[in-house]
Structure 1
Amino acid sequence: MKTYIDQLGNQHTFETTPTRIVSLVPSQTELLFDLGLEDNIVGITKFCVHPYHLKSTKKSIGGTKKVHLEKIRLLNPDIIIANKEENTLEIVEELRQICPVWVTNIITIEDNLQMISDFGQLFNKRTEAQKWIDKTNFGLADFQQFIKDKDVKKVAYFIWANPYMVAGGDNFINELLKLNKFQNIYDNNPKYEGRYPEIIIQKMQIQGDPELILLSSEPFPFKDEHAFELGRHTHHATTVFVDGEMFSWYGSRLVKAFDYFKKLHLRIGDQILH
């Protein structure tokens, strides 16, 4: 019997290492795969698109906010991997009737490293987990060296249109914005509460006037007309389309994100010059 504690402080006891895994979060599915657990993954969401071939080899059990309980039950899982932000408390409590539900809570890079370590312990993949922790720490140190002399820029990071919504504080996106020396004008903004507040774009200039408007590729497909509309409500902001996976996916994806961020800063520099 082994006992482990997840990132919400829930205690889980297993007689043997869990071998049948249902994953409810795309970035965590990718991490499980990268830890060498492909054969143990039995169920994923329709949004679990990396690696792509899992869509055809694993059972789809719905989305992150609405799961098919009976499909999950029939998969006979030993453990379900969820996340505090992605999955509702109601879903987690229903799924606990089937088997233990391990809930992650990722806001900082340290939280991310803890999750990788936890999965290494939980699934007896300690060596693989340590490799990804080392890669992450190496990439982080390298990127911090790259970014250290860059100026801080005020930004607004948009995730949705109609209504317009942005990344506020207390979330992983905001942590990665800070890492990039992007000062989020909606972080701890008293006018807008919550992790992903709905905002009034007409007030953007008086509530922070960002130098950069970042339009995420997910979950909303922003187009040029959105960039134009948003730009009209700032003084002289540069609008940049960014890869939402690089800013919002945790797990092993962060290793790729560091190189992406370097290229992004070079691209932003070119856009500002021209």
Structure 2
Amino acid sequence: MGSKVKEPKPEWIKIKLTAGEPYQEIKTMMRSKTLHTVCEEARCPNIYECWANRTATFMILGDICTRACRFCAVNTGLPTELDLQEPERVAEAAEQMNLQHCVVTSVARDDLTDGGASIFAETIKAIRRKLPLCSVEVLIPDFLGNKEALQIVMDAKPDILNHNIETVERLSDQVRAKAKYERSLELLKRSKEMNPDIPTKSSIMLGLGEEWDEILQTMDDLRAVDCNIMTIGQYLQPSDKHLYVKRYVTPEEFAELKKEGLARGFSHVESGPMVRSSYHAHEQVKSAANANNVV
């Protein structure tokens, strides 16, 4: 994947350090309910900003992933945790935060027959019981292509079905572990076939050696399976053990990619150096709803 970028991070790669009262309150609540967040486990650069705004992405099914993707900081190994009470605790935390939009993701659990799909479904239902007006977005793994597992999640009717394609096709096998580019596209396609009214969403990271035309091809591939929302951000190396950053993409390029995405028919494109999959997620569900109403 090339040599490490030697120059310091550019000035546009900035993290807002605002670890004030809301941040500490959410951190304490998560620990008291034995919950995990992808904000912490994946070392998201936006954690201070999002938590200050009382927004968090819950990570269910434990904190040990069965895969070892070369970009991700989440711990890998053999999971031992399957907590059937976790959905209720997530719902209680969402209620305590009085969320209007709740994002739920997970580690990959290839050790489970359904990949954890049933826990996703129960979490959606539990949040709806506690917060009937709260929209729920799920960011799911590929379930190794298990169609029945995907159906379990779709039957719970999330407001947004999110699955990240992560990178361009040429780099996919080098960047991701077990996940396949075509399998990700197939998952997004199947979810639309199961329920065309549920918006779908996907995300890619830049700075891993992809070419401009490959990014545009990824957009076209996502639109070909009727993906509605796309997020585009800068890859940042979480540790020396992970893939090196090959290039820092400029804010101007991110702005141009947003235009390209909107021109291709995405209802919402979030594109910027610090953008991550769940960044400004509450705005994206509104855009998707408006697009459906226009149709």
Provide TM-score, normalisation by structure 1: 0.31
Larger radius of gyration between Structure 1 and Structure 2:
1
